[in-house]
Homo-oligomer: A and B are copies of this chain.
Protein backbone atom coordinates (compact mmCIF):
# COMPACT_ATOMS: atom_id res chain seq x y z
CA UNK A 1 0.00 0.00 0.00
CA UNK A 2 1.21 3.42 -0.91
CA UNK A 3 1.84 5.39 2.26
CA UNK A 4 1.55 9.11 2.75
CA UNK A 5 5.08 9.84 3.86
CA UNK A 6 5.97 11.73 6.99
CA UNK A 7 9.43 12.78 5.91
CA UNK A 8 9.50 16.12 4.20
CA UNK A 9 11.42 15.44 1.04
CA UNK A 10 8.75 13.33 -0.55
CA UNK A 11 6.35 16.14 -0.94
CA UNK A 12 6.25 19.66 -2.03
CA UNK A 13 5.12 22.14 0.54
CA UNK A 14 2.94 24.97 -0.57
CA UNK A 15 2.95 27.21 2.44
CA UNK A 16 3.78 30.24 0.34
CA UNK A 17 0.77 30.19 -1.90
CA UNK A 18 -1.79 32.82 -1.22
CA UNK A 19 -4.39 31.47 1.12
CA UNK A 20 -8.03 32.29 1.31
CA UNK A 21 -8.97 34.59 4.13
CA UNK A 22 -10.89 32.66 6.67
CA UNK A 23 -12.84 33.43 9.81
CA UNK A 24 -10.79 33.06 12.96
CA UNK A 25 -13.17 31.15 15.11
CA UNK A 26 -14.62 28.81 12.55
CA UNK A 27 -14.38 25.87 14.86
CA UNK A 28 -18.07 25.44 15.49
CA UNK A 29 -20.29 25.24 12.50
CA UNK A 30 -22.88 27.96 12.30
CA UNK A 31 -26.31 26.87 13.45
CA UNK A 32 -29.74 28.16 12.66
CA UNK A 33 -29.78 30.02 15.91
CA UNK A 34 -26.58 31.82 15.00
CA UNK A 35 -28.18 32.90 11.77
CA UNK A 36 -31.35 34.01 13.52
CA UNK A 37 -29.33 35.98 16.01
CA UNK A 38 -27.33 37.73 13.35
CA UNK A 39 -30.35 38.49 11.19
CA UNK A 40 -32.33 39.64 14.19
CA UNK A 41 -35.21 37.30 13.51
CA UNK A 42 -36.54 34.15 15.07
CA UNK A 43 -35.16 30.74 14.35
CA UNK A 44 -38.37 29.69 12.67
CA UNK A 45 -38.10 32.51 10.17
CA UNK A 46 -34.65 31.33 9.22
CA UNK A 47 -36.08 27.87 8.76
CA UNK A 48 -38.71 29.27 6.44
CA UNK A 49 -36.19 31.08 4.32
CA UNK A 50 -33.81 28.17 4.15
CA UNK A 51 -36.57 25.82 3.08
CA UNK A 52 -38.14 28.27 0.69
CA UNK A 53 -41.43 28.35 2.52
CA UNK A 54 -43.90 31.11 1.56
CA UNK A 55 -45.10 34.04 3.62
CA UNK A 56 -41.86 35.75 4.42
CA UNK A 57 -41.29 39.41 3.64
CA UNK A 58 -38.72 40.16 0.99
CA UNK A 59 -36.72 42.30 3.36
CA UNK A 60 -36.62 39.52 5.92
CA UNK A 61 -35.48 37.06 3.31
CA UNK A 62 -32.65 39.37 2.36
CA UNK A 63 -31.52 39.77 5.96
CA UNK A 64 -31.52 36.04 6.51
CA UNK A 65 -29.68 35.38 3.29
CA UNK A 66 -27.02 37.85 4.29
CA UNK A 67 -26.57 36.06 7.59
CA UNK A 68 -26.46 32.57 6.14
CA UNK A 69 -23.80 33.64 3.74
CA UNK A 70 -21.71 35.57 6.20
CA UNK A 71 -21.80 32.68 8.64
CA UNK A 72 -21.38 30.08 5.89
CA UNK A 73 -24.42 28.39 7.27
CA UNK A 74 -25.15 24.91 5.99
CA UNK A 75 -28.29 23.14 7.15
CA UNK A 76 -27.84 19.95 9.10
CA UNK A 77 -29.75 17.40 7.10
CA UNK A 78 -29.64 14.87 9.90
CA UNK A 79 -31.23 17.20 12.41
CA UNK A 80 -33.80 18.32 9.88
CA UNK A 81 -34.79 14.77 9.12
CA UNK A 82 -34.93 13.94 12.77
CA UNK A 83 -37.25 16.86 13.45
CA UNK A 84 -39.35 16.12 10.43
CA UNK A 85 -39.77 12.61 11.72
CA UNK A 86 -39.02 11.64 8.21
CA UNK A 87 -37.83 8.35 6.87
CA UNK A 88 -36.87 9.86 3.57
CA UNK A 89 -33.21 10.79 3.64
CA UNK A 90 -32.89 10.97 -0.13
CA UNK A 91 -30.04 8.51 -0.02
CA UNK A 92 -29.66 4.87 -0.84
CA UNK A 93 -26.87 2.42 -0.24
CA UNK A 94 -25.18 0.27 -2.84
CA UNK A 95 -23.31 -2.81 -1.71
CA UNK A 96 -21.23 -4.49 -4.36
CA UNK A 97 -18.46 -6.99 -4.43
CA UNK A 98 -15.53 -4.80 -5.40
CA UNK A 99 -15.48 -1.44 -7.04
CA UNK A 100 -12.39 -2.14 -9.09
CA UNK A 101 -14.11 -4.82 -11.08
CA UNK A 102 -15.56 -2.97 -14.07
CA UNK A 103 -18.65 -5.14 -14.04
CA UNK A 104 -19.67 -3.86 -10.62
CA UNK A 105 -18.49 -0.35 -11.38
CA UNK A 106 -20.97 -0.34 -14.26
CA UNK A 107 -23.74 -1.41 -11.92
CA UNK A 108 -22.86 1.57 -9.78
CA UNK A 109 -23.09 3.80 -12.80
CA UNK A 110 -26.54 2.53 -13.66
CA UNK A 111 -27.81 2.96 -10.12
CA UNK A 112 -26.38 6.43 -9.88
CA UNK A 113 -27.90 7.41 -13.20
CA UNK A 114 -31.40 6.73 -11.91
CA UNK A 115 -30.77 8.01 -8.40
CA UNK A 116 -29.44 11.32 -9.68
CA UNK A 117 -32.60 11.91 -11.69
CA UNK A 118 -34.46 11.72 -8.43
CA UNK A 119 -31.99 13.82 -6.50
CA UNK A 120 -30.98 10.87 -4.41
CA UNK A 121 -27.41 10.29 -3.28
CA UNK A 122 -25.76 6.89 -3.51
CA UNK A 123 -23.55 5.57 -0.75
CA UNK A 124 -21.33 2.76 -1.91
CA UNK A 125 -19.27 0.14 -0.19
CA UNK A 126 -17.64 -3.16 -1.05
CA UNK A 127 -18.54 -6.47 0.50
CA UNK A 128 -15.81 -8.48 -1.17
CA UNK A 129 -18.38 -11.25 -1.36
CA UNK A 130 -18.26 -11.78 2.38
CA UNK A 131 -21.67 -12.30 3.93
CA UNK A 132 -20.59 -11.08 7.35
CA UNK A 133 -19.21 -7.93 5.83
CA UNK A 134 -22.40 -7.48 3.86
CA UNK A 135 -24.51 -7.75 7.00
CA UNK A 136 -22.25 -5.35 8.86
CA UNK A 137 -22.53 -2.82 6.06
CA UNK A 138 -26.29 -3.16 5.96
CA UNK A 139 -26.42 -2.38 9.68
CA UNK A 140 -24.00 0.52 9.28
CA UNK A 141 -26.04 2.11 6.54
CA UNK A 142 -29.31 1.45 8.29
CA UNK A 143 -28.19 3.36 11.32
CA UNK A 144 -27.35 6.15 8.90
CA UNK A 145 -30.94 5.94 7.76
CA UNK A 146 -30.73 5.27 4.07
CA UNK A 147 -34.02 4.86 2.24
CA UNK A 148 -33.13 1.55 0.67
CA UNK A 149 -30.51 -0.80 -0.64
CA UNK A 150 -29.22 -2.18 -3.90
CA UNK A 151 -27.08 -5.20 -3.16
CA UNK A 152 -24.97 -7.68 -5.07
CA UNK A 153 -25.40 -10.51 -2.61
CA UNK A 154 -22.51 -12.47 -1.19
CA UNK A 155 -22.82 -16.24 -1.06
CA UNK A 156 -24.68 -17.61 1.94
CA UNK A 157 -28.03 -17.58 3.66
CA UNK A 158 -29.55 -14.14 3.48
CA UNK A 159 -32.25 -14.58 6.06
CA UNK A 160 -30.12 -12.73 8.58
CA UNK A 161 -29.71 -9.80 6.25
CA UNK A 162 -33.42 -9.75 5.41
CA UNK A 163 -34.11 -9.83 9.12
CA UNK A 164 -31.99 -6.77 9.65
CA UNK A 165 -33.78 -4.93 6.90
CA UNK A 166 -37.14 -5.77 8.35
CA UNK A 167 -40.22 -5.07 6.32
CA UNK A 168 -39.99 -1.34 5.86
CA UNK A 169 -36.54 -0.96 4.34
CA UNK A 170 -36.62 -2.09 0.72
CA UNK A 171 -33.73 -3.88 -0.91
CA UNK A 172 -33.26 -4.92 -4.52
CA UNK A 173 -30.64 -7.50 -5.31
CA UNK A 174 -28.59 -7.40 -8.49
CA UNK A 175 -26.64 -9.90 -10.55
CA UNK A 176 -27.42 -12.76 -8.27
CA UNK A 177 -30.40 -14.04 -6.30
CA UNK A 178 -29.85 -14.06 -2.54
CA UNK A 179 -29.96 -17.46 -0.90
CA UNK A 180 -32.86 -18.33 1.36
CA UNK A 181 -35.19 -15.37 0.82
CA UNK A 182 -37.70 -14.07 -1.68
CA UNK A 183 -36.71 -10.65 -2.93
CA UNK A 184 -36.67 -8.34 -5.91
CA UNK A 185 -33.80 -9.35 -8.15
CA UNK A 186 -32.30 -8.15 -11.41
CA UNK A 187 -30.19 -10.76 -13.08
CA UNK A 188 -29.12 -12.11 -16.42
CA UNK A 189 -30.67 -15.28 -17.81
CA UNK A 190 -27.55 -17.00 -16.62
CA UNK A 191 -28.58 -20.54 -17.41
CA UNK A 192 -29.70 -19.64 -20.92
CA UNK A 193 -26.57 -17.58 -21.48
CA UNK A 194 -24.35 -20.49 -20.51
CA UNK A 195 -26.33 -22.76 -22.79
CA UNK A 196 -25.91 -20.38 -25.69
CA UNK A 197 -22.18 -20.11 -25.09
CA UNK A 198 -21.78 -23.85 -24.78
CA UNK A 199 -23.94 -24.54 -27.82
CA UNK A 200 -21.84 -22.09 -29.77
CA UNK A 201 -18.67 -23.93 -28.86
CA UNK A 202 -20.27 -27.31 -29.59
CA UNK A 203 -21.23 -25.97 -33.01
CA UNK A 204 -17.54 -25.30 -33.58
CA UNK A 205 -16.94 -29.01 -33.29
CA UNK A 206 -15.67 -28.96 -29.72
CA UNK A 207 -16.32 -31.92 -27.44
CA UNK A 208 -13.97 -31.16 -24.59
CA UNK A 209 -15.11 -27.81 -23.24
CA UNK A 210 -13.66 -26.40 -20.05
CA UNK A 211 -15.66 -24.25 -17.64
CA UNK A 212 -14.32 -21.49 -15.43
CA UNK A 213 -16.69 -20.06 -12.85
CA UNK A 214 -16.79 -18.48 -9.45
CA UNK A 215 -18.19 -19.66 -6.15
CA UNK A 216 -20.90 -22.22 -6.99
CA UNK A 217 -22.79 -21.13 -3.89
CA UNK A 218 -23.82 -18.09 -5.89
CA UNK A 219 -26.95 -18.56 -7.94
CA UNK A 220 -25.26 -16.81 -10.82
CA UNK A 221 -22.39 -19.26 -10.94
CA UNK A 222 -24.56 -22.27 -10.26
CA UNK A 223 -26.98 -21.33 -13.04
CA UNK A 224 -24.16 -20.92 -15.51
CA UNK A 225 -22.67 -24.23 -14.58
CA UNK A 226 -26.08 -25.84 -14.92
CA UNK A 227 -26.59 -24.28 -18.36
CA UNK A 228 -23.20 -25.54 -19.46
CA UNK A 229 -24.05 -29.05 -18.27
CA UNK A 230 -27.53 -28.89 -19.81
CA UNK A 231 -26.15 -28.23 -23.21
CA UNK A 232 -23.39 -30.81 -23.02
CA UNK A 233 -26.04 -33.34 -22.04
CA UNK A 234 -28.20 -32.40 -25.00
CA UNK A 235 -25.23 -33.05 -27.23
CA UNK A 236 -24.84 -36.46 -25.69
CA UNK A 237 -21.70 -35.56 -23.80
CA UNK A 238 -21.24 -36.57 -20.19
CA UNK A 239 -19.97 -33.45 -18.39
CA UNK A 240 -16.58 -34.26 -16.90
CA UNK A 241 -15.87 -32.79 -13.47
CA UNK A 242 -12.22 -32.44 -14.33
CA UNK A 243 -13.17 -29.84 -16.94
CA UNK A 244 -14.85 -27.63 -14.39
CA UNK A 245 -12.86 -25.07 -12.46
CA UNK A 246 -14.76 -23.24 -9.75
CA UNK A 247 -13.86 -20.59 -7.21
CA UNK A 248 -12.44 -18.23 -9.78
CA UNK A 249 -12.70 -14.78 -8.24
CA UNK A 250 -9.75 -12.87 -9.65
CA UNK A 251 -7.65 -13.19 -12.78
CA UNK A 252 -4.91 -15.12 -11.04
CA UNK A 253 -7.41 -17.80 -10.00
CA UNK A 254 -8.37 -18.11 -13.63
CA UNK A 255 -4.76 -18.39 -14.67
CA UNK A 256 -4.20 -21.28 -12.28
CA UNK A 257 -7.43 -22.94 -13.35
CA UNK A 258 -6.70 -22.60 -17.03
CA UNK A 259 -3.21 -23.98 -16.53
CA UNK A 260 -4.67 -26.99 -14.77
CA UNK A 261 -7.22 -27.59 -17.52
CA UNK A 262 -4.61 -27.35 -20.23
CA UNK A 263 -2.41 -29.77 -18.33
CA UNK A 264 -5.00 -32.55 -18.38
CA UNK A 265 -4.24 -35.73 -20.28
CA UNK A 266 -7.09 -34.91 -22.58
CA UNK A 267 -7.19 -31.11 -22.39
CA UNK A 268 -10.15 -29.02 -23.49
CA UNK A 269 -10.13 -27.54 -26.98
CA UNK A 270 -12.48 -24.78 -25.89
CA UNK A 271 -13.21 -22.81 -22.75
CA UNK A 272 -16.21 -20.99 -21.40
CA UNK A 273 -15.05 -18.34 -18.95
CA UNK A 274 -18.18 -17.35 -17.11
CA UNK A 275 -16.88 -14.16 -15.50
CA UNK A 276 -14.92 -11.20 -16.78
CA UNK A 277 -11.88 -11.96 -14.64
CA UNK A 278 -12.05 -15.61 -15.67
CA UNK A 279 -11.74 -14.65 -19.32
CA UNK A 280 -8.79 -12.37 -18.61
CA UNK A 281 -6.89 -15.08 -16.79
CA UNK A 282 -7.68 -17.63 -19.47
CA UNK A 283 -6.49 -15.31 -22.23
CA UNK A 284 -3.28 -14.67 -20.37
CA UNK A 285 -2.41 -18.36 -20.11
CA UNK A 286 -3.47 -19.14 -23.67
CA UNK A 287 -1.30 -16.31 -24.92
CA UNK A 288 1.66 -17.46 -22.84
CA UNK A 289 1.42 -20.91 -24.35
CA UNK A 290 0.82 -19.71 -27.85
CA UNK A 291 -2.62 -21.28 -27.85
CA UNK A 292 -4.73 -18.15 -28.35
CA UNK A 293 -5.58 -19.16 -31.89
CA UNK A 294 -5.90 -22.88 -31.14
CA UNK A 295 -8.20 -23.05 -28.13
CA UNK A 296 -11.63 -21.47 -28.49
CA UNK A 297 -12.74 -19.10 -25.75
CA UNK A 298 -16.09 -17.52 -24.96
CA UNK A 299 -16.11 -15.05 -22.12
CA UNK A 300 -18.90 -13.47 -20.15
CA UNK A 301 -19.31 -9.74 -19.62
CA UNK A 302 -18.32 -7.12 -22.10
CA UNK A 303 -15.06 -5.31 -21.41
CA UNK A 304 -13.58 -2.09 -22.77
CA UNK A 305 -10.89 -3.95 -24.65
CA UNK A 306 -12.64 -7.15 -25.71
CA UNK A 307 -12.42 -6.11 -29.35
CA UNK A 308 -8.73 -5.29 -29.13
CA UNK A 309 -7.21 -8.54 -27.97
CA UNK A 310 -5.91 -11.14 -30.36
CA UNK A 311 -8.05 -12.93 -31.27
CA UNK A 312 -10.85 -10.58 -30.32
CA UNK A 313 -12.85 -11.99 -27.46
CA UNK A 314 -16.26 -13.49 -28.11
CA UNK A 315 -18.53 -12.94 -25.13
CA UNK A 316 -21.96 -13.40 -23.76
CA UNK A 317 -22.60 -9.74 -23.14
CA UNK A 318 -24.59 -8.65 -20.13
CA UNK A 319 -25.77 -5.13 -19.45
CA UNK A 320 -24.49 -4.33 -15.96
CA UNK A 321 -25.30 -0.65 -16.26
CA UNK A 322 -28.82 -1.68 -17.21
CA UNK A 323 -28.92 -3.98 -14.19
CA UNK A 324 -28.10 -1.02 -12.01
CA UNK A 325 -30.72 1.25 -13.57
CA UNK A 326 -33.44 -1.35 -13.41
CA UNK A 327 -32.63 -2.22 -9.82
CA UNK A 328 -32.69 1.43 -8.81
CA UNK A 329 -36.01 1.95 -10.56
CA UNK A 330 -37.50 -0.98 -8.74
CA UNK A 331 -36.06 0.24 -5.47
CA UNK A 332 -37.69 3.63 -5.91
CA UNK A 333 -40.99 1.96 -6.71
CA UNK A 334 -40.67 0.14 -3.39
CA UNK A 335 -39.66 3.30 -1.57
CA UNK A 336 -42.74 4.94 -3.03
CA UNK A 337 -44.83 2.26 -1.43
CA UNK A 338 -45.24 -0.39 -4.09
CA UNK A 339 -46.53 -3.41 -2.25
CA UNK A 340 -46.51 -6.50 -4.37
CA UNK A 341 -44.78 -9.85 -4.29
CA UNK A 342 -41.05 -9.88 -4.92
CA UNK A 343 -40.20 -10.31 -8.57
CA UNK A 344 -37.18 -11.20 -10.61
CA UNK A 345 -36.26 -9.24 -13.70
CA UNK A 346 -34.39 -11.49 -16.06
CA UNK A 347 -32.33 -9.71 -18.67
CA UNK A 348 -31.16 -11.76 -21.63
CA UNK A 349 -27.46 -11.87 -22.41
CA UNK A 350 -26.44 -11.90 -26.02
CA UNK A 351 -23.63 -13.58 -27.86
CA UNK A 352 -21.11 -11.32 -29.52
CA UNK A 353 -18.93 -13.20 -31.98
CA UNK A 354 -15.51 -11.68 -32.35
CA UNK A 355 -13.18 -14.52 -33.19
CA UNK A 356 -12.01 -16.29 -30.06
CA UNK A 357 -15.23 -18.23 -29.78
CA UNK A 358 -15.31 -19.23 -33.41
CA UNK A 359 -12.06 -21.15 -33.41
CA UNK A 360 -12.96 -24.64 -34.58
CA UNK A 361 -11.95 -27.86 -32.91
CA UNK A 362 -8.92 -29.59 -34.46
CA UNK A 363 -10.22 -32.28 -36.78
Contacts and interface: CB of A to CB of B under 8 A. Distances in A.
Interface of A: 1-5, 10-15, 17-20, 22-23, 26-27, 29, 72, 74-79, 81-82, 87, 91, 98-102, 105-106, 108-110, 112-114, 121-126, 137, 139-145, 159, 162-164, 166-168, 181-182, 186, 251, 277, 280, 283-284, 287, 303-305, 307-310, 319, 321-323, 325-327, 329-330, 333, 341-347
A8 to B, nearest CB: 9
A341 B308 contact: no
Contact of A305 (B29, B144, B280): B280
Given A78-B145, A125-B121, A140-B121, A4 B105 contact: no
Contacts of A79: 78, 82
Residue of A100, A123, A342 with highest tally of chain B CB at under 10 A: A100
Residue of A144, A284, A303, A321 with highest tally of chain B CB at under 10 A: A144
28 contacts: A1-B110, A2-B319, A2-B347, A3-B326, A4-B326, A10-B346, A15-B341, A23-B166, A23-B167, A26-B167, A72-B163, A77-B143, A77-B145, A78-B82, A78-B144, A78-B145, A99-B99, A99-B108, A99-B124, A102-B105, A108-B124, A112-B125, A121-B140, A121-B141, A122-B123, A280-B304, A287-B307, A305-B308
Residue of A15, A101, A304 with highest tally of chain B CB at under 10 A: A304
A99 B91 contact: no
A343 B87 CA distance: 41
Contacts of A181: 20
Contacts of A251: 304
A5 B18 CA distance: 55
A283 to B, nearest CB: 5
B307 A308 contact: no
Contacts of A319: 2
B82 A22 contact: no
Nearest to A82: B79
A304 B313 CA distance: 14
B307 A284 contact: yes
Contacts of A163: 20, 72
A12 B346 contact: yes
B166 A26 contact: yes
A168 B10 contact: no
